[in-house]
Amino acid sequence: MNIRLLFITRAYPPSVGGMEQVSYNLAQALKEELPVEIIAYGGKRIGLLWFLPQAFFLALWKISRHGITHIHLGDAVLSPIGLALKILTRKKVSVTVHGLDVTYKNPLYRAVNLPSLRHLDNIICVSKHTLEQCTQRGVPASKCTVIPWGVDPQEFRVTASREDLEGITDMNLSNKKVLLTVGRLVKRKGVAWFIDQVMPILGPEYVYLIVGEGPERPAIEATITNHGLHDRVRLLGQLPDRERTVLYNTSDIFIMPNIPLPGDMEGFGTVAIEASVAGMPVVGSNLEGVKDAVIDGETGWLASPQSPADYIMCIGKARDTNRLRVARITEQKFNWRATAIAYRKTLEHSCA
């Protein structure tokens, strides 16, 4: 069967964010494999109230005009629309599930979205942990497939020097080992824990840079102050893409110190593959979707969550990692072409 795909997503550029960029890259990769029509929203969250009904009726029009055979949803939030389209058009409907879109605890969401999700045809999970969360909530395992995200190497590689890094951070980094974390500052990311439990026992040659903003920032600032670490830990806030890429290419070790938090989870460690495709070894928690983004012993090391001793050991191992090898393995394992091919094969299998 020749597949013609309609891709509906509520997170797309020009809106800025990880999910927006992932949806864009997936859409472009799928276009290399299949005829694809896109219905996408790239505005502010409040506009979703208008987008959802608009997307539904626009989808009906595109299905009738463009010979659509399959519908793919960008996340489980769109499951009710997908189920309605499936019933009305009898088309196959698949969805990418990221993690939080299946664990969200709002009672209305659980009453409407989870039953809708269970009745879709293909549930594509970004990690093994996300698949486990789906099956725990009654999604048939036979409908679930794990397909990780890809990464565009050229987007995260740049020629830069340690002097460029010093210019961004306004720090003297001579003879320093630079640790880096990039991401939204929320409790599950474990940044405050890492500063509190690991930084004080690392040697003075270690500097920790943190890129991002979020509600956990006051707790992180307080932890830095409590330990007197202002000269070794720097909160950089949000940075332009170019400066973030410089950090990926000139820092030494990427840190993902996630901690277990009931009701919250890391669906897939996207920033881990961004860092490692630039050559940075990753030290992250052996937890949730982080486990799918770090190839233990090759692109980095997985430490027991909330174990300072394990983190110290893994950081020691990462110091001697060959950056070119890390970049090569990441590019081979996580690339958008492989992701798109896996999506196509999953959709084809649903027709068999």
Give pLDDT tens digits along the chain (352 positions).
Answer: 689 999 999 999 998 777 888 899 999 999 999 999 999 998 888 888 899 999 999 999 999 999 999 999 999 999 999 999 999 999 999 999 999 899 988 999 999 999 999 999 999 999 999 999 999 999 999 999 999 999 999 999 999 999 999 999 999 999 999 999 999 999 999 999 999 999 999 999 999 999 999 999 999 999 999 999 999 999 999 999 999 999 999 999 999 999 999 888 888 889 999 999 999 999 999 999 999 999 999 999 999 999 999 999 999 999 989 999 999 999 999 999 999 999 999 998 876 5
Integer-rounded Cα Rg, in Å, for the chain is: 21
Q: For the packed helices 79-89 and 48-66, what is the interaxial angle rounded to 10 degrees?
A: 30
Q: Please name the helix (run of DSSP H) or strand (run of DSSP E) that holds residue 179, with its range, or none.
A: strand 177-182
Nearest-angstrom CA–CA distance, 251 and 279: 10
Structural domains for the chain: 5-150+335-351 (3.40.50.2000), 153-333 (3.40.50.2000)
pLDDT at 111: 94
Report CA-CA distances (Å) from 68 to 1, 24, 30, 285. Answer: 12, 20, 15, 42
pLDDT at 286: 96
Q: Please name the helix (run of DSSP H) or strand (run of DSSP E) that holds residue 88, with its range, or none.
A: helix 79-89
Q: Residue 43 has which token pair?
A: 């505005």
pTM of the model: 0.88
Nearest-angstrom CA–CA distance, 153 and 242: 14
Q: Which of 218, 303, 221, 287 is nearest to 254 (CA)?
A: 303
pLDDT at 18: 78
Contacting residues for 227 by C-beta, under 8 A, at least 6 apart: 195, 196, 199, 200
Tens digit of each residue's pLDDT (9 = 90 or more) over 17-65: 778 888 999 999 999 999 999 999 988 888 888 999 999 999 999 999 9
pLDDT at 2: 86
pLDDT at 27: 95
**Do 284 and 258 meet the contact criterion of CB atoms below 8 Å apart?**
yes
Angle at the Cα of 17 (from 16 to 21), degrees rounded to 5?
90
